[in-house]
Amino acid sequence: MNSLSLFPPPGPDGNITLFESNNELVCGTSLGSRQKQGWEPPSLLFPRESLKPHSRPESSSKAAFLDHRDTLWMRSARAWRDSGLSGLLDEIANCTEEEVPRWLTVGCSWTLALLRWVSSFHGSLFPHLTLSSEDMVAEFSQVLDWSDCAVRAFAWHPHTDKFAVSLLDDSIRIYNSKSATAPTLKHRLQRNVAALQWKPLCASALAVACHNCLLVWHVDPTSLSTRPSSGCAQVLSHPGHCPVTSIAWSPNGSLLLSASPVDTAMMVWDVAGESCVPLQRVGGGGVTFLSWSPDGSRVLASTPSALFRVWETRTWTCERWPCLKGRCQTGCWSPDGTRLLFSVQGEMVIYALTFTDAPGEPHGWSGSSKAAAIVADLSETSFSTSQGQVRVGGQVQTMAWDPRGERLAVLLKGDPEAPDRPAMIAVFKTRISPIFELLPCGFVKGESGAEPRLLQFHPHFPNGALLTVCWSNGRISHVPFFFVSAGGSVLNPGGSPPWPLPQSRAVENGERLLYTEMSS
Amino acid sequence: MFNSEQNHWFVRKVIFWRAAASVAWSVLLLPVTTALFAFLSRFSLFHPIQWISGGQYSFDFVLVVGVFNLEYYTVVPSVPCTKIALLGKVLHPQQSVHSLVHSMMGIMVTWCAATMIGGRYWILAAPCSEEEGVTGQKMCLNEYYLFFLLAGAFMGYSYSLLGVVRNMNYVSFQTIQQCKYLRFKGMLPQVVRYSAVQSLYSVRNYCLFYFFFGYIPRAWICTTLNVHEDSSLHRLDTVSGLLDFRLLYHLWLSGTFLLLTWHITLLLFRIFITEAYSFPVQSSFSEDVSQCLPKVLSEKQPLILKFLALQDLFLLSQQSLSRRMEVFSLSQPGGHPHNWNAICKECLSLLSDLSQRLVEYQEVVASNGRARPLSSHSDQRSTSSETLVTSGTEEQLQTPQQSIGLKTPSSVFLRSTSLGLHTPMTAPFTPRQESPFSSSSVNRFVGNVDPSSPWYGSVQSPHVMRRGPKLWTASTGSPPGSSLPPSPTTIPSPVPAAQKPGLFSLWLQNRQEQVCSRYSDLCLPEASSQALFADSQAHIWALEGLSNLVAASYKEDRFGVVQTMLPSILSTMLLLQEAVDKHFKLPHASSKPVRSTCCLEDSTFKTLRFALRAALKTAMYRITVTFGEHLHSVQMSAEHRKRLQQFMEYKE
């Protein structure tokens, strides 16, 4: 079952994917052919060159300054503050004879060696702990090639036409359909933004996962200020809980979850009270990615090792799901919260898990499935286009499911070494009820030379689904998928009945069924 | 001992059992901590018999601590508005009993610990060492032993004292529902660390204390028991004597053991008492009707029942479809939505009471801010917000229907403890009463409150106590001297014990405003705002529960019972929103408190106003998101419609 081979080939080079209509993706060079309907989200461009990245991390900047001899106490205190015990030991071990007695230097260097040996042992169990915190964010972020990407995070507001973009220079900009001002948020602690999310059932609160804390901005939507002061941000931090790589608001807006790959505990924040409850489980070595199911009953929490957990949110107990190959890279929930799609690092497939028990009723875990089923195979496939062979396929970087559950966008990692195998977005048509089905839709292409980095669906697009893609050249584009929701029409799940439908195309689509629960 | 509240079915059937279970678990954990202590104190387990016998004694003390937890707990903290009020709280007779008992228990536990460690802590008086005691059988004082026992008393007292200052008796509810074992497991490392650190501080303070005052108890013991001081040994109130690291280690370890057992008892008590309790929504048997959710919600006492009922409402509105259906169902026969009506009415009355309370507070602040000439210009803001509350309360209490009827939820929610915890405390704060101060205060000390007095009932509530200092300062608009109560000589003699702290705190209260205006750092400006929202957890649950039910009714309410209440729900919430918005414009209302570092010093109540504001907005958005354009057809005033429109456009 090589499902990518059933896809229509990607459009010709130079064309970009404009929209989906009548069941097929339309490519072109400009948007002239389509009527504008209501508010069009702006297509933004943030050139990589215009953004000054944050200065290098402190370890490398130390050498740039002139050597200044402080007293030993001063240096020890600073080393302790900067890098803790190991820094202190290192500082003392490198002291000269006249400052420190010989036995202390030797003792410190021995202790340091012992400490390093122990930590290397710990690191061999959990290799990610040896990464620097910036590399760790890049490793576990949902953004492809996070460290070099102009747009580092993106978030649509769940209720209005408003989105927030986090850029390479650690600023966040907010674009609103109803106002011309685009506020820029900057904060001293806002570094290495790994994720953004707006609080549901609230107009103003935006949670930001930063280098060593969580920030919750309260951006007054009626304010005309373009630079809200840092007093508008709440700082939530917990010792040992940094860098924060993933955050998730509960769908009812009351709780905020945060995860860090170095901390085995996942934090449940009461944002107004600025207090947190750690949910600690042994094993895994940290938590990298969180995803709250849209009905609020379950949370996916993946760890840096080959294990992920699914928490239920009534009493906060969890199910352990060991994987065979690698860690769980990404996952997304169906809108009704019964189905979880996820992908595992090192495998080019999408798995599905089904939870059938009604959330909220005390049935326990009897209803959930015992093993994950493979629903799509994304291994490499060649397409011959006018420009020659294009190879598509690979591991999944991130996935997004549209809020109606009819389109699934998958960002496939390419091969950075091979120019003919770029990163690509594959879009599937999906149907959840009465049975789960997956059909091919097409590939989304950007400007030539631009690779997709991040994708997200608009939470309430009226005419179908709207996919927002951030590209490697700093472009943020929006690809609408026009269809009528298949609430009643079972015959044509992903189709669009109001538009005249070419008969042949529909039949072809019918045959191209990728996955259905009946066949498996 | 047991008053009517303690005889309530819920207290008898649930709370006592929960408290008993928590004590039982702490007793079961005692062997573990004792074994650990014995191991750490001697690094060997050569004499297992000794520590088992020692452990049996400390069993009793855990029981006592458990009983104290049950007697003293509260779900609404009392927030002292000034540091002077805090001092009054500490010197309160009830608190003195608490401290005394804890000191005694501290002595007993350290005695057990000393027995377990053995060695030089074995006995109080021993035969003197050789050089001196050649001739006779002179007994000498073992100063280590005395040092140890006094340390126990000191630690017990400081535990009790810190408990008051940090509101350790306040029981807060968790934001998420974890099962008890996991909650305990998650908190245990923090509790151990906290106990160790607290013990370290106690040892430091105790050493200082002993260094300066150690000779007093030593001399006293020597003369009473007719033993001698051993001059060949180091005295412990010298620097060299105190620098005995083995002694300090044992002291710290015993202190950690002591605090750990007590903190574990406290933690288990909190975990058990705040566990969610599922009330039936309706019952087919008439005798069970009083235990159903709609009935329980409307009860005023005990407070813990009210809080648990609201928590259950919140949980059912969010998680349980079948129980929501029961709420929306119609009565058989008759077809009336009694369940929904009762729940909705209770929630709405809670919310409107809060908005009324806020509006009154604001009015007081606004009117007095202009009218009253301030005695000081140093910190006008804090002084005004301080004094103003005061007279607001006073006005409120002077109005008979308000003080007797106790309409404000604050007093409704308060737990009046069986021992009349706050009763004597309130007594000195009633100088404006018509009856002479002396007699009423005495009456309250002996526990018979005159039912005809307007203070009957209200006096027992800590809310009045919380406002107490303000009541008092209210009269200080006139020159300070005139606000003194009638001469203390009128107080009859039978109550000399209670007299002293009462008068002392009275004097303190008298000085309060002057001190407060002169040294503004003595006042806690934020505290009046904290006190206003001290019971807001109940309002948060009411808001969440109500809005979840309304949102669920969009799909689940087959008979349309919710629709009829929708206008009043919306207008109540909008009124509250307005009041809360105004409140946050007052000075000090939006300043954030310092986050407490530890788990056991629960400071949740300090941020409840922010939580309430967030919950209110979320509740409004939940309703507007669910109903959307349909809300246009709901009848409401133009002003409210305008406000609602803001919510529908996501501009709040």
3-state secondary structure B17-58: HHHHHHHHHHHHHHHHHHHHHHHHHHCCCCCHHHHHHHHHHH
Helices vs strands, H then E, count in chain B: 26, 2
List chain B residues with CB under 8 Å of A313: 176
- By CB neighbour count within 10 A (0-12 exposed, 13-18 middle, 19+ buried), where does A492 fall? middle
Show Cβ contacts of residue A206 under 8 Å, excluding neighbours closer than 6 positions.
A155, A164, A172, A174, A185, A196, A197, A198, A199, A216, A217, A219
**Which mean pLDDT values do the consecutive 10-residue runs of chain A (520 residues) have?**
79 82 82 59 82 58 62 79 76 76 85 85 80 89 90 93 92 89 92 94 94 92 89 89 93 93 92 89 89 93 92 90 89 92 92 74 53 88 81 91 93 83 90 87 88 93 91 90 67 38 39 60
Of chain B, the percentage scoring pLDDT greater than 70 comes to 65
Residue A262 belongs to a domain: no
The H-or-E segment that residue B498 falls in is helix B496-518
Q: Are A458 and A417 in contact (CB under 8 A)?
A: no
* pLDDT in the model for residue A267: 93
Contacts of A309 in chain B (CB under 8 A): none
Q: Are residues A348 and A455 in the same domain?
A: yes
Confidence (pLDDT) at B462 = 39
Give the residue-averaged pLDDT of B26-43: 79
What is the C-alpha to C-alpha distance for residues B50 and B235, in angstroms, rounded to an integer?
A: 29
Instruction: State whether B615 and A254 contact (CB < 8 Å).
Output: yes
Structure confidence by residue, pLDDT tens digits, B297-354? 988 878 889 999 999 999 999 988 899 999 999 988 888 999 999 999 999 999 999 9
B607, A252: Cβ pair inside 8 Å?
no
* Chain A CA closest to residue B541: A254
CB contact under 8 Å between A159 and B621, yes or no, is yes
Q: Is A295 part of a structural domain of the chain?
A: no
Q: How far is CA A458 from CA A20, A46, A154, A201, B501, in A?
A: 15, 20, 11, 16, 66
Give the dihedral sign, CA B330/B331/B335/B336.
Answer: negative
Top mean pLDDT of A115-119, A333-337, B68-72, B171-175 is at A333-337
- Across the interface, of B176, B320, B608, the residue whose CB is closest to A316 is B176
Q: What is the pLDDT of residue A234?
A: 92
Contacts of B626 in chain A (CB under 8 A): none
Same domain, A24 and A87: no
User: Which H helix or E strand runs over B319?
Assistant: helix B303-319
Residue B419 has pLDDT above 70, yes or no: no
Helix, coil or strand: residue B354: helix
The answer to whether residue A261 sits within a structural domain is: no
Ordered alpha helix ranges (H), B320-399? 321-328, 338-371, 380-398
Per-residue burial over B174-204, b if 16 or more Cβ lie within 10 Å, else e, is bbbbbeeeebbebbbebbbebbeebbeebbe
Domain boundary among A132, A162, A178: A132
Provide the Cα torsion A380, A381, A382, A386; round to 10°.
-110
Find out whether the peptide bond into A498 is cis, omega within 30 degrees of 0. Answer: no
The burial of B489, by beta-carbon neighbours within 10 Å (0-12 exposed, 13-18 middle, 19 or more buried), is given as exposed
Instruction: Tell me if A445 sits within 8 A of A13, measured CB to CB.
Output: no
* Residues B611, A270: C-beta atoms closer than 8 Å: yes
Which two three-digit tokens encode residue A14?
A: 């130079």
Q: Which residues of B touch A277 (CB under 8 A)?
A: 174-176, 178, 186
Shared domain for A337 and A444, answered yes or no, is yes
- What is the spatial distance between Cα A353 and Cα A366, in angstroms, rounded to a whole number? 14
Asked if residue A194 is part of any domain, the answer here is no
Tell me what pLDDT residue A85 has: 78
Could you give the C-alpha distances from A80 to A75, A87, A95, in angstroms and in order? 8, 6, 15
Sign of CA dihedral B12, B14, B19, B23: positive
Asked whether residue A10 is domain-assigned, the answer is yes
Partner-chain contact B321 A159, CB within 8 Å: no
Which pLDDT band, with edges at 50, 70 and 90, does B44 fall under?
Answer: very low
Do the beta carbons of residue A358 and residue B321 sit within 8 Å? yes
pLDDT number for residue B359: 93
The answer to whether residues A351 and A422 belong to one domain is yes
- Cβ of B176 within 8 Å of Cβ of A277? The answer is yes
Same domain membership, residue A1 and residue A114: no
Q: Which of A115, A132, A149 is the last residue of a domain?
A: A132
Domain-ending residue, one of A81, A104, A132: A132
CA distance B626 to B553: 10
Window from A317-321, B133-137, B225-229, B634-638 with minimum mean pLDDT: B133-137
Provide the mean pLDDT of chain B. 73
Give which of A169, A147, A173 is closest to A42, Cα–Cα. A173
Average pLDDT of the residues in B427-449: 33
Q: Which residue from A407, A424, A426, A427 is spatially nearest to A415, judged by alpha carbons?
A: A424
Whether residues A463 and A407 fall in one domain? yes
Alpha-carbon span A159 to A157, nearest angstrom: 6
Alpha carbon B488 to chain centroid distance? 31
CB atoms within 10 A of CB B493: 6
Beta carbons of A252 and B622 less than 8 Å apart? yes
One domain, residues A93 and A18: no
Closest residue in B to A239 (Cα) is B597
Question: pLDDT value at position A62?
Answer: 58
Cβ contact, residue pair B595, A178, below 8 Å:
no
* DSSP secondary structure, A52-118, as one string: PPPPPPHHHHGGGSPP----HHHHHHHHHHHHHHHHHHHHHHT--TTTS-HHHHHHHHHHHHHHHHH
Among residues B513, B531, B544, which one has the least CA distance to residue B318? B544
CA distances from residue A506 to A435, A436, A509, A511, B437 in whole angstroms, order as listed = 19, 19, 5, 9, 92
Contact B175 A277 (CB under 8 A): yes
Classify residue B528 as exposed, middle or buried by CB count within 10 Å of its CB (0-12, 13-18, 19+): buried
Range in B65-79, B478-492, B560-574, B600-614 the model is least confident about: B478-492
**A1: closest CA among A258, A376, A302, A445?**
A376
Mutation to test the B interface, candidates A199, A277, A309, most B Cβ within 10 Å: A277
Interface contact B608-A178, CB threshold 8 A: no
Q: Tell me which of B322-336, B388-402, B566-580 is least confident.
A: B388-402
- Supply the range of the domain harboring residue A124: 72-132
**β-strand partners of A116:** none
With a cut of 60, say whether residue B496 has pLDDT above it: no
Burial class, A38, CB count within 10 angstroms (exposed 0-12 / middle 13-18 / buried 19+): exposed
Task: Please judge whether B621 and A271 are an interchain contact, meaning their C-beta atoms are less than 8 angstroms apart.
Answer: no
Interhelix angle B93-117/B496-518, nearest 10 degrees: 100
Query: Which residue in chain A is spatially nearest to B652 when comparing CA positions?
Result: A203
- Is A53 among the domain residues? no
Q: Is A116 exposed, middle or buried (0-12, 13-18, 19+ CB in 10 A)?
A: middle
The pTM for the full model equals 0.80
Average of pLDDT values for B457-475? 37
CA atoms within 13 A on the CB side of B225: 18
Name the residue type at position A312. E
Q: How far apart (Å, rounded) are the C-alpha atoms in residues A86 and A92?
A: 10
Residues in A closer than 8 angstroms to B175, CB to CB, are 254-255, 268, 270, 273, 275, 277
Nearest chain B Cα to A222, which residue? B651
Spatial separation of the C-alpha atoms in residues A300 and A291, rounded to whole Å: 5
A274 with B622: Cβ contact below 8 A: no
Could you give the percent of chain B with pLDDT greater than 90? 26
| Statement: residue B98 has pLDDT above 90 | no
State the pLDDT confidence band at B71, using cuts at 50, 70 and 90: low
CA dihedral (B387, B388, B392, B393) positive or negative: negative
List CB contacts of B494: < 8 A, sequence separation 6 or more: B442
Residue B476 predicted with pLDDT over 60: no
Q: What is the least distance, in Å, from the CA of B647 to any CA of chain A?
A: 8
Confidence category of residue B11, pLDDT binned at 50, 70, 90: confident
Which amino acid does the sequence have at A503?
Answer: Q
Tell me the residues of A at the B interface, defined by beta carbons under 8 Å apart.
Answer: 157, 159-160, 162, 178, 201-204, 221-222, 252-255, 268, 270-275, 277-280, 313-317, 358-361
Which of A221, A271, A360 comes nearest B650 by C-beta? A221
Indicate if A3 and A118 belong to the same structural domain: no
Nearest of A294, A190, A185 to residue A248 by alpha carbon = A294
Q: Do B614 and A271 touch (CB under 8 A)?
A: yes
At A222, give phi and psi (nearest 5°). -90, -10
The runs of H, that is alpha helices, within A455-502 are none
Domain count for chain A = 2
Output the CA–CA distances (angstroms, integers) from residue B414 to A217, B74, B78, B293, B441, in the order listed.
36, 8, 10, 20, 21
Q: Give B182's contacts (C-beta < 8 A, 6+ positions apart).
A: A316, A317
Same domain, A13 and A119: no
Say what the alpha-carbon torsion angle B171, B175, B176, B179 is, to the nearest 10 degrees: -10
Mutate one of B172, B175, B607, B608 to test the A interface: name it (highest A CB count within 10 A): B175
* Residue A176 covered by a domain: no
| CA gap B414, B298 in Å, rounded | 14
Task: Look at residue B581 in the predicted model and tell me its pLDDT.
Answer: 93
Interface A:B, Cβ pairs < 8 A: 92
* Beta strands A24-28 and B125-127, pairing class: unpaired
Task: Give the chain B residue nearest A203 (alpha carbons).
Answer: B650
**Average of pLDDT values for B97-113?**
85
Question: For the segment B356-375, what is each residue's pLDDT rounded down to a tens digit?
Answer: 999 999 988 888 654 443 33
Domain membership flag for residue A107: yes
Which residues in B429-462 are b (16+ Cβ under 10 Å) and which e?
A: bbbeeeeebbebbbbbbeeebeeebbbebbbbbb
3-state secondary structure (DSSP) of residue B422 = coil
Question: Whole-angstrom Cα distance, residue A415 to residue A323?
Answer: 24
CA distance B601 to chain A (A): 12
CB < 8 Å to A273, chain B: 175, 604, 607-608, 610-611
**Are A273 and B611 a contacting pair at CB < 8 A?**
yes
- What is the model's pLDDT at position B355? 95
Tell whether A419 and A345 lie within a shared domain. Answer: yes
Q: Does A271 sit within 8 Å of B318, measured CB to CB? A: no
Q: Give the one of A159, A275, A280 whose C-beta lies nearest to B625's C-beta.
A: A159
Contact A157 B182 (CB under 8 A): no
Mutate to test the interface with B, among A275, A292, A299 (most CBs of B within 10 A): A275
Same domain, A14 and A107: no
Same domain, residue pair A338 and A437: yes
Residue of A160, A179, A199, A254 to mutate, interface with B, max B Cβ within 10 Å: A254
- C-alpha–C-alpha distance, residues A11 and A28, integer Å: 9
